[in-house]
Amino acid sequence: MPLHSKHLLGLDGMSREDLQLILDTAVSFHEVLERPIKKVPPLQGKTVANMFFENSTRTRLSFELAERRLSADVLGFAATGSSVSKGETLKDTARNIEAMKVDMVVLRHGAAGAAHYLSRVINANVINAGDGSHEHPTQGLLDMFTIREKYGRLNDLHVCIVGDIAHSRVARSNIFGLKTMGARVSVCGPATMIPREIERLGVEVYHHLDDVLPHVDVLNVLRIQLERDAGRLFPSIREYRQTYGVTRKRMEKAGRVVTVMHPGPINRDVEISADVADSEHSVILQQVLNGVAVRMSVLYLLSTRG
Amino acid sequence: MQLLLTGGRLIDPPTGRDATVDMLIVDGRIERIGTNLSASAAQVIDLRGKIVAPGFIDMHVHFREPGFEYKESIASGCAAAAAGGFTAVCCMPNTNPPIDDESLVHFIHARSREAMGGLVNVYPVGAVTAGRKGEHLAPLAELAAAGAVAFSDDGDPVHDAELMRRALEYSAMFRRPIIQHAQEPSLSRGGVANEGYPSVTLGLPPMPRIAEEMMVARDIRLAEYTGGQYHVAHVSVAETLDLVRAARTKHLAVTCEVAPHHFTLSDEALATYDTNTKMNPPLRTREDIEAMKAGLRDGTIDVIATDHAPHSYDEKEVEFAQAPFGIIGLETAIGLAVTELVKKNVLTLYQLVEKFSTNPRNILHLPVIDIAEGSQANLTLFDPTAEWLVDPATFKSHARNTPFGGARLTGRPVGVMNNGTSFWC
């Protein structure tokens, strides 16, 4: 059964069947990653270009590893800043790379909709590796995979996303995917970081972490962008830490075992403290491994679709 | 050259006429108006079922000359205007250099006289502030004397409240409106889409509706305080109309316009990140579309103006956030207005003519178009029932940046006459 779309642009609108297929397929690739020989041949002879227009270490390495594990030829391209500031448009850059007979393009870009746009102007499969504040679908998928690995299901679990929801592509992909799979999703953060009308996505909104903690199964803690609008979206790091910092003390007060996730990179002692990030309830490093498995799954399923 | 226009419905709001007439035009002058006219030497144009109206004016266009002729020149802009059924336009001053001294006004006049045989009157709008920088007043008296019909820093608002106050006071001395691109910049900075459900799901930086409302509220207070004449460009949110309505009950000199896209499309159209759905102010909600229609119906909105904003193909062929704001509008204006307003019983054809001709001319204090024997013909002829498919490839404009390509519209210009010359669509 192939995926319904030629591209992975986002989890918004993706069917339950497709989500299920990606997650199920990732299970077998996860198993491959546990073997002594971690390489399988499905993408032999295929070329994947990783086009990263934004700084990224984790996602880029994870994709690259997933591609190599599937025996693909990998082309790396990193340019910081916008394509426009470099004088070449995204379209020209992508078409030039595609002209070298590339089968798939993984795109990380600072502008929302960049992957949608690219999918219209090139023939290769496009995988969105993060577009502005829009989506980061493979992150959403790996988060869902990790939760399912831990609980055996997604439906009826309560997942709360904490942090700057307004500017988070991780939050959006999580919300779209988890809602489709039947999870209960809430968001928690200062009012300045919760976009208006987010309720229409079917999520509950909290502003006080202690109100929601006693009711959640999973806490997905977002990275606070220290560089973003400090002093405008929130007064100070100190105040954010005191209000939204996830600490052991706070978790214990909630009186409930809560699984903690974080998409990384972590600002220790800002949004999360070491006694939580490194605790037995943290699945942060599992997320990293699962990321490779999920990306292998996506690459494989899109390649079989052509 | 004799033309006999037969059987057309003359709608002429300045005189209140609405009747089927024949019209004999000789060398661009109206020779006779009557019924069952005949003239053996004349070319007969059958206008049965079609409308004959005083020439339409689009009081909000961007002709990119000087500075950005690759987007649109005055010549191509005038061709687009004529093809869209307009005999006059007001061009905004965000050119390079901007229209902030009289030499630019003269330049635009000269260029427009060369285009289309001078068919389209191009009325420059002068900048409110020198260089459109928002710091000092431009030489408004000089600009007005040269022929600027209004002042605006369109594209940017006049943000500084004191400067806006002075502009309203100063321009009132010679009866010129200040046209405001109403948007509190600190609230909409960096935004590319209406703040609402679509911007949330699409992850697009938001432009809150209150940015427009707040600026209009401030400006109306300033207009009342100074007695100046104030016109809100391209209204996009319902709350603005409430403010304008309230100002009217106080008999303030406050007017406003709406662009066809703001009564046609909502922000749901952004779902595919099509850069031709990106404009400033942005597409708003379905409720706002209904509010625009209500405002047109009850007269709160005086004018339909397109905010014709040409950009090159490559400029729009980029990521959404990087694309420039704006779409072209001259050649779809009548079609969209008839389709969305007349066919849906928002406006009568008579009211449509008011919004496209009479009202904007009144706001700008332009002479009334005289449809009388002996007068120069300044006419827009259009067919309110013709159905057509929008094909941007056929546009006279240099630019193709429209979200309406492929749309099926009702209502189409037939031709225009002005300044002794004519254009047939």
Instruction: For chain B, list the domains and their CATH numbers.
Output: 2-51+373-424 (2.30.40.10), 56-363 (3.20.20.140)
Contacts of B200 in chain A (CB under 8 A): 195-198, 200-201
- Is B37's Cβ below 8 Å from some Cβ in A? no
Which residues on neighbouring strands pair with residue B413, listed in sequence order?
A: B382
* DSSP structural state of residue A8: B
- Chain B residues whose CB is inside 8 A of the A116 CB are 272-273
CATH code assigned at A296: 3.40.50.1370
Note if A86 is an active site residue. Answer: yes
CA distance B106 to B145: 11
Query: Which helix (H) or strand (E) segment is A305 a member of?
Result: helix A284-305
Shared domain for A109 and A223, answered yes or no, is no
Residues A38 and A115 in one domain: yes
Element (H, E) at A106: strand A104-109
Q: Both A56 and A193 in a single domain? A: no
In a domain, A8, yes or no: no
Residues A110 and A141 in one domain: no
For A159, the enclosing helix (H) or strand (E) is strand A158-162
Assess B201–A contact: CB distance below 8 Å, yes or no.
yes
Smallest Cα distance from A12 to chain B, Å:
8
Contacts of B196 in chain A (CB under 8 A): 196-197
Mean residue pLDDT of chain A comes to 94
- On whether both A91 and A29 belong to a single domain, the answer is yes
DSSP-derived pairing of the beta strands B17-26 and B2-12: antiparallel
Torsion angle, CA of B280/B284/B289/B292, rounded to 10 degrees? -50
Helix (H, G, I), strand (E, B) or coil at A287: helix
Amino acid at A78: A
User: What is the torsion angle, in degrees rounded to the nearest 10, for the CA atoms of residue A119, residue A2, residue A73 and residue A11?
Assistant: 50
Higher pLDDT, A229 or B171: B171
Token pair for B351 = 């009211």
Classified as helix, coil or strand, A303 is helix
Domain identity same for A171 and A293: no
Give the residue numbers spanning the domain of A24. Answer: 16-136+288-303
Query: Within a domain: residue A4?
Result: no
Q: Is the pLDDT reported for residue A227 higher than 90?
A: no
DSSP string, A20-78: HHHHHHHHHHHHHHTSSS----TTTT-EEEEEESS--SHHHHHHHHHHHHTT-EEEEEE
CB contact under 8 A, B200 and A90: no
Diameter over CA atoms, chain A: 58
Structure tokens at A15: 């069917």
Letter for the amino acid at A56? S
Q: What is the 3-state secondary structure (H, E, C) of chain B?
A: CEEEEEEEEEEECCCCEEEEEEEEEECCEEEEEECCCCCCCCEEEECCCCEEEECEEEEEECCCCCCCCCCCCHHHHHHHHHHCCEEEEEECCCCCCCCCCHHHHHHHHHHHHHHHHHCCEEEEEECCEHHHCCCCECCHHHHHHHCCCEECCCCCCCCCHHHHHHHHHHHHCCCCCEEECCCCHHHHCCCCEECCHHHHHHCCCEECCHHHHHHHHHHHHHHHHHCCCEEECCCCCHHHHHHHHHHHHCCCCEEEEECHHHHCCCHHHHHHCCHHHCCCCCCCCHHHHHHHHHHHHHCCCCEECCCECCCCHHHHCCCHHHCCCCCCCCCCHHHHHHHHHHCCCCCCHHHHHHHHHHHHHHHCCCCCCCCCCCCECCEEEEEEEEEEECCHHHCCCCCCCCCCCCCEEEEEEEEEEECCEEEEC
Q: Kindly report which listed range (A198-207, A297-306, B73-82) carries the lowest average pLDDT score.
A: A297-306
Query: For B194, which residue in chain A has the nearest alpha carbon?
Result: A196
A116 to chain B, minimum CA–CA distance in Å?
7
**Same structural domain, A81 and A182:** no
Specify if A221 maps to a domain. yes
CA distance A112 to chain B (A): 6
A84 contacts in chain B (CB < 8 Å): 318, 322
CB contact under 8 A, B273 and A112: yes
How distant is the alpha carbon of residue A45 from its chain centre?
28
User: What confidence score (pLDDT) does residue A306 get?
Assistant: 63
Could you say which of A30, A46, A134, A136 is catalytic?
A136
DSSP single-letter state for residue A155 = T
Are A112 and B203 a contacting pair at CB < 8 A?
A: yes
Within-domain flag for A6? no
Q: Which of B353, B346, B338 is nearest to B10 (CA)?
A: B353
CB B360 within 8 A of CB B303: yes
Q: Is A208 a catalytic residue?
A: no
Please indicate, yes or no, if residue A234 is contained in any of the structural domains: yes
Please, which residues bridge with residue A76 across strands? Answer: A50
- Contact yes or no for A172 and B273 at CB 8 A: no
Chain B CB contacts of A200 below 8 Å: 197, 200
- Reading the block at residue A45, the tokens are 């002879």
Residue of B nearest to A111 (CA): B321
Vertex B151, ends B149 and B156: CA angle to 5°?
145
In a domain, A210, yes or no: yes
Identified catalytic residue from A4, A16, A39, A86: A86
Alpha carbon distance B247, B253 (integer Å): 8
Question: What is the interface size between A and B, counted as CB pairs within 8 Å?
Answer: 71
B324-353 b/e (C-beta count within 10 Å ≥ 16 → b)? bebbbbbbbbbbbbbbbbbeeebbebbbbb
Query: Is B206 an 8 Å CB contact of chain A?
Result: yes
Residue to mutate among A53, A133, A194, with most B CBs inside 10 A, is A133
Rounded to a whole number of angstroms, the distance from the CA of A10 to the nearest CA of chain B is 10
Instruction: Write out pLDDT tens, residues A12-40.
Output: 999 999 999 999 999 999 999 999 999 99
pLDDT at position A84 over 50: no
B195 touches chain A (CB under 8 A): yes
The residue ranking higher by pLDDT, A141 or A4, is A141
3-state SS of B184-204 is CHHHHCCCCEECCHHHHHHCC
Total domain count for chain A? 2
Is B307 catalytic? The answer is yes
From the list B202, B203, B318, the residue facing A84 with the nearest CB is B318
**CA distance linking residue B238 with residue B30, whole number of Å:** 42
Catalytic residue (choose from B307, B314, B370, B391): B307
Min Cα separation B307/chain A (Å): 25
Contact A117 B273 (CB under 8 A): yes
Q: Whole-prediction pTM value?
A: 0.95
Instruction: Residue A161: list chain B partners with CB under 8 A.
Output: none
Q: Within this chain, do residues A223 and A293 fall inside the same structural domain, yes or no?
A: no
Same-domain pairing of A131 and A141? no
Q: Among B299, B348, B323, which residue's Cα sits nearest to residue B11?
A: B348
Interface test with A, best of B201, B204, B268, B313 (most A CBs within 10 A): B201
For residue A221, the 8-state DSSP code is: E
**Residues in chain A within 8 Å Cβ distance of B323:** none
Give A195→chain B minimum CA distance, Å.
7
CA separation (Å) from B22 to A202, B5, B250, B362?
A: 63, 5, 43, 27
State residue B344's pLDDT score: 98
CA-CA distance, A126 to A123, in Å (whole number)? Answer: 9
Give CA–CA dist B34/B329, Å, rounded. 35
**Token couple for B211:** 């940015």
Nearest to A89 among B206, B318, B321 (CB): B318
| Contacts of residue B196, Cβ cutoff 8 Å, sequence gap at least 6 | A196, A197, B206, B267, B284, B285
Q: How far is B163 from chain A (nearest CA, A)?
A: 27
**Alpha carbon distances (Å) from B160 to B54, B182, B184, B225, B285:** 38, 12, 10, 16, 29
Amino acid letter at B407? A
The answer on A223 and A158 residing in a single domain is: yes
For chain B, 425 residues long, give each residue's pLDDT as a single digit of tens. 899 999 999 999 999 999 999 999 999 999 999 999 998 889 999 999 999 999 999 999 999 999 999 999 999 999 999 999 999 999 999 999 999 999 999 999 999 999 999 999 999 999 999 999 999 999 999 999 999 999 999 999 999 999 999 999 999 999 999 999 999 999 999 999 999 999 999 999 999 999 999 999 999 999 999 999 999 999 999 999 999 999 999 999 999 999 999 999 999 999 999 999 999 999 999 999 999 999 999 999 999 999 999 999 999 999 999 999 999 999 999 999 999 999 999 999 999 999 999 999 999 999 999 999 999 999 999 999 999 999 999 999 999 999 999 999 999 999 999 999 999 99
B321: nearest CA in chain A?
Answer: A111
CB distance from B321 to chain A under 8 Å?
Answer: yes
C-alpha A61/C-alpha A33 separation (Å) is 15
Res A87: pLDDT: 75
A176 pLDDT tier (thresholds 50, 70, 90): very high
Q: CA–CA separation, A161 vs A186, rounded Å?
A: 6
Asked if B330 is an interface residue toward chain A (Cβ–Cβ < 8 A), one would say no
**Looking at the partner chain, which of A110, A112, A197 has a beta carbon nearest the beta carbon of B204?**
A112
In Å, what is the CA distance from A281 to each residue of A125, A219, A261, A274, B36?
37, 10, 9, 12, 92
Q: Is the pLDDT of residue A229 over 80?
A: no
Residue A197 has its nearest CB partner, among B197, B205, B319, at B197
Chain A residues with CB-CB distance to B203 below 8 A: 112-113, 131-135, 169, 172
Are A267 and A195 part of one and the same domain? yes
Q: Pick from B42, B41, B56, B53: which is nearest to B5 by CA? A: B42
Does residue B205 belong to the interface with chain A, where contact is any CB pair within 8 Å? yes
Chain A interface with B: residues with Cβ < 8 Å:
12, 82-84, 89-91, 109-114, 116-117, 121, 131-135, 169, 172, 195-198, 200-201
Tell me if A182 is assigned to some domain. yes
The rounded Cα A58 to chain-centroid distance in angstroms is 11
Q: Which is nearest to A245 in space by CA: A293, A209, A294?
A: A209
> Tell me, what DSSP letter sits at residue A213?
G
Please indicate, yes or no, whether residues A69 and A170 belong to a single structural domain of this protein.
no
- Displacement of CA B229 from its chain's centroid (Å): 18
Task: List, for residues A102-131, the tens digit of each pLDDT value.
Answer: 999 999 999 999 999 999 999 999 999 999
Residue A34: CB atoms within 10 A of its CB come to 9
Mean pLDDT of A72-86: 72
The H or E element containing residue A98 is helix A90-99
Largest CA distance in chain B: 66
Q: Cα–Cα distances in Å, from A128 out to A104, A115, B89, B157?
A: 11, 6, 44, 37
Q: Taking CB atoms and an 8 Å limit, are B318 and A112 in contact across chains?
A: no
Chain centre distance of CA B268 = 24
Query: Which is it for the CA torsion A280, A284, A289, A290, positive or negative?
Result: positive
CB-CB neighbors (< 8 A) of A110 in chain B: 321
Q: Which residue has the tokens 């001053």?
A: B93
The verdict on a CB contact (< 8 Å) between A113 and B200 is: no
Give me B354's structure tokens: 């008011």
* Burial of residue A77, with CB atoms counted within 10 A of its CB: 0-12 exposed, 13-18 middle, 19 or more buried: middle
Distance (Å, whole) CA A191 – CA A233: 9
CB neighbour list of residue B270: distance below 8 Å, 6 or more residues apart: B193, B198, B199, B202, B204, B277, B278, B283, B320
The answer to whether position A226 is within a domain reads yes
Residue A82 has pLDDT above 50, yes or no: no
Name the residue facing A111 among B200, B206, B322 (closest C-beta).
Answer: B322
